[in-house]
Amino acid sequence: MSLQDFLSDLDKLVQEASAAFDAVTDAESLEVARVRYVGQKSGALRDIQKQISKIEPSDRKAAGMRFNESKAAIQDAFNDCKQRLGQGEAAAIDPTFDPTLPGLRPIVGHIHPITQTIEHLMEIMGRMGFEAAEGPEVEDPWHNFVALNIPEDHPARDPLDNFYLATANQNGVEPVSEGNQLLRSQTSTVQIRVMEKQKPPIRVISLGRVYRPDAPDATHFPMFHQMEGLFVDRHVTMANLKTVLRVFAANYLGDDVAIRFRPSFFPFTEPSVEVDFFWNDAWVEFGGAGMVDPNVFEAVGYDPEQYSGFAFGLGVERLCMRRHGITDIRDLYSGDLRFLRQF
């Protein structure tokens, strides 16, 4: 093939391709023109490139240079056409792409409502000077019962009311006994752990999981969270307890909340009370509280003649549900993202 013929074919192709891209009116005709002229597999440019090998070797360099110029010109015509259609790269990839449609919201994970509640409660109590303390979820009977003034024959230690851990020896699994370790049934265990390590004054809260073999219903779950508070110093009174809980409730639920104590019994506090908050026209029980029993102080080596203190334990799920208007505790643990994404 002569160089002359090759160059005139090349010029014709540039003219033809430019005219074709000029005539394009929509994404579909753009795609047809693209395949025809710049297509990698069988486009016209590709075909003409193959002719270079048939030209006299001395003319091939010139042919190659002109080919590259023509290729750039056709590519420019194609790019101009794409821009003219206002569809950019995406149109060439997918002619059905409509850049004016709203995008898809990316799925971003977020913090579980109970974790959010825990962070909020820590923040409120932190402002009143309560530091966070932690204890293990697998506990021994000393911290879960004995040091909390719950003696060996107390019904609260019944295996039917607790998740005792089974132990095994070479003969197999041994029967569960009340001396075994257990999943803690209350965060009051952390009171003991803190007092064993620190001397008064003490002002701590502990937020964590507890476990009880309660049948699940709208307000009960076998695993739930408690917020334990402990304040020990000289001359601490029940009035201090009520003030701290009222300030807490006002911060968490709002200024219009009222607080009520009802007489109750817990082995580790004397006197003991149930704590109710009045909010949105109803009294709701949130937990228990009281003045630390002298027997508990003795178990951790504090002198009950010198020190007094209060303690409270509130249900975190109950607080979260009340604030957000959640009516069934099971929703929090169903793993249903349609529910969880609301918080």
> Near ligand FA5 by CB under 6 A, which window of 12-20, 221-229, 301-309, 331-339?
221-229
What is the amino acid identity at position 66? Answer: R
> Smallest gap, in angstroms, from Cβ of residue 93 to ligand FA5?
54
> Smallest gap, in angstroms, from Cβ of residue 206 to ligand FA5?
10
What is the amino acid identity at position 131? Answer: E
Binds ligand FA5 by CB under 6 A, chosen from 21, 224, 302, 307: 224
Whichever of 79 and 280 has its CB closer to ligand FA5, that residue is: 280
**Peptide bond just before 175 cis, omega within 30 deg:** no
Task: Dig out the tokens for 126 from the structure.
Answer: 């932190």
Q: Is 221 in the site for ligand FA5 (CB under 6 A)?
A: yes
Using CB under 6 A, count the residues that bind ligand FA5: 25
> Smallest gap, in angstroms, from Cβ of residue 304 to ligand FA5?
16
Residues 317-336 that bind ligand FA5 (CB under 6 A): 317-318, 329
Q: Fill in the per-residue mask, 257 to 296: x = in contact with ligand FA5 (CB under 6 A), - = not in contact.
A: ---------x--x--x------------xxxxxx------
Question: Long-range pairs for 37-45 at CB < 8 Å and ≥24 separation?
Answer: 37/13, 37/74, 37/78, 38/74, 38/75, 38/78, 44/13, 44/16, 44/17, 45/13, 45/70, 45/71, 45/74
Secondary structure E strands in 234-336: 258-266, 269-279, 282-292, 308-315
Q: Is 133 in the site for ligand FA5 (CB under 6 A)?
A: no
Whichever of 60 and 212 has its CB closer to ligand FA5, that residue is: 212
Whichever of 66 and 212 has its CB closer to ligand FA5, that residue is: 212
Q: Is 220 in the site for ligand FA5 (CB under 6 A)?
A: yes
Judge contact between 133 and 206, C-beta under 8 A.
yes
Q: Is 135 in the site for ligand FA5 (CB under 6 A)?
A: no
> Smallest gap, in angstroms, from Cβ of residue 292 to ligand FA5?
8
What are the residues facing 4 on neighbouring strands? none
> Near ligand FA5 by CB under 6 A, which window of 45-53, 66-74, 166-174, 218-226?
218-226
> Near ligand FA5 by CB under 6 A, which window of 96-104, 198-206, 243-251, 308-316?
308-316
Phi, psi (degrees; rounded to nearest 5) at 133: -130, 155
> Smallest gap, in angstroms, from Cβ of residue 238 to ligand FA5?
12
Tell me the pairing of strands 202-211 and 223-233: antiparallel
Binds ligand FA5 by CB under 6 A, chosen from 30, 45, 48, 311: 311
Q: Is 308 in the site for ligand FA5 (CB under 6 A)?
A: no
Q: Is 186 in the site for ligand FA5 (CB under 6 A)?
A: yes
Tell me the torsion sign for CA atoms 288, 289, 294, 298.
Answer: positive
User: Please, what's the b/e burial string for 172-189 (b: 16 or more CB within 10 A of its CB; e: otherwise)?
Assistant: eeeeeeeebbbbbbbbbb
> Smallest gap, in angstroms, from Cβ of residue 287 to ligand FA5?
4
Judge contact between 261 and 273, C-beta under 8 A.
yes
Distance CA 320, CA 118 (A): 9
Q: Is 315 in the site for ligand FA5 (CB under 6 A)?
A: yes
What is the amino acid identity at position 67? Answer: F
**Residue number with the shortest CB distance to ligand FA5?**
315
Whichever of 167 and 243 has its CB closer to ligand FA5, that residue is: 243
What is the amino acid identity at position 319? Answer: L
> Smallest gap, in angstroms, from Cβ of residue 217 to ligand FA5?
9
Distance CA 289, CA 210 (A): 17
Task: Dig out the tokens for 329 from the structure.
Answer: 């505790």
Give the footprint of ligand FA5 on this chain (CB under 6 A): 186, 188, 212, 214, 220-221, 224, 226, 228, 266, 269, 272, 285-290, 311-313, 315, 317-318, 329
